[in-house]
Amino acid sequence: MPIPEARKRNRAGRGLPAGRAAGLAVTACGLAAGCAAAAAPAAAGPPAGAPFVYVTGSNTIWQYSISPATGKLTPMAPATVATGKGAHDFAVAPDGKNLYLITVSDDTIAQYAITPRSGALSARPVSTARTVPVPEAIALSPDGKNAYVTSEGQGALSQFAISPVTGKITPLSPVTVTAPSHGSLGVAVTPAR
């Protein structure tokens, strides 16, 4: 089924070049993420508690630190991390230790570790798993123990467990559940009450 081609035409029709995706995440480095306490001696790089910004591009994640004083972005070293084909949407774990990326052309979810002090992503995924075809959006549960991925072209939603220790992604059983018949463009998870 030529869904990826239809997806490219759909994206181009929305003013986005085929193969390009838009995604943005801002995360704060905190003690839960393993960052140094503010009173600790400062190492080279952003100060403790500094937030980081990640942006998807064509098969790439761009990564920046944010100046707490000015809000100015500074590219990290390295400035980019290569991804699978069609990097699309992602979510940062609530503890700030991992970023989970979905790729459209590969139909995968990939876990990238976040270095606590610098915010830099691991050069390669730590773990990966297959998703529904043509994944569109990802959401993590507020406790960071689950991930959910929608499909733009299928009436299905992938569901995954996330290890609280390693952040590894594992498909749940059943791997998918029924979603809107013509695909879904978004997904959200409410906090526990």
Domain that holds residue 168: 3-13+21-36+47-178
Q: For residue 23, how many C-alpha atoms fall within 13 Å in the half-sphere facing its CB?
A: 31
The reported pTM is: 0.77
Let me know: does 46 contact 72? Beta carbons within 8 Å: no
Whether 142 is in a domain gets the answer yes
Question: Residue 82 is encoded by which pair of tokens?
Answer: 């290569």
Q: What is the pLDDT of residues 140-151, one digit of tens each?
A: 999 999 999 999
Whether 42 is in a domain gets the answer no
Cβ-based neighbour number of residue 6 at 10 Å: 13
Q: If you average pLDDT over residues 55-65, what whole number do you get?
A: 92
Question: β-strands 146-151, 156-162: how paired?
Answer: antiparallel
Whether 186 is in a domain gets the answer no
Residue 30 reports pLDDT greater than 80: no
Q: What is the pLDDT of residue 57?
A: 84
Whether 185 is in a domain gets the answer no
Q: What is the pLDDT of residues 157-185, one digit of tens each?
A: 999 999 999 999 999 999 999 988 777 88
Let me know: does 185 contact 150? Beta carbons within 8 Å: yes
Whether 27 is in a domain gets the answer yes
Distance CA 69, CA 4 (A): 43
Whether 96 is in a domain gets the answer yes
Which CATH number belongs to the domain containing residue 83 in this structure? 2.130.10.10
Higher pLDDT, residue 161 or 19: 161
Percent of the chain as helix, strand, coil, to the nearest 5: 5, 40, 50
Q: What is the pLDDT of residues 69-86, one digit of tens each?
A: 899 999 999 999 999 899
Whether 188 is in a domain gets the answer no
Distance CA 34, CA 113 (A): 12
Distance CA 68, CA 180 (A): 42
Let me know: does 147 contact 130? Beta carbons within 8 Å: no
Domain count, the chain: 1
Distance CA 6, CA 166 (A): 36
Whether 64 is in a domain gets the answer yes
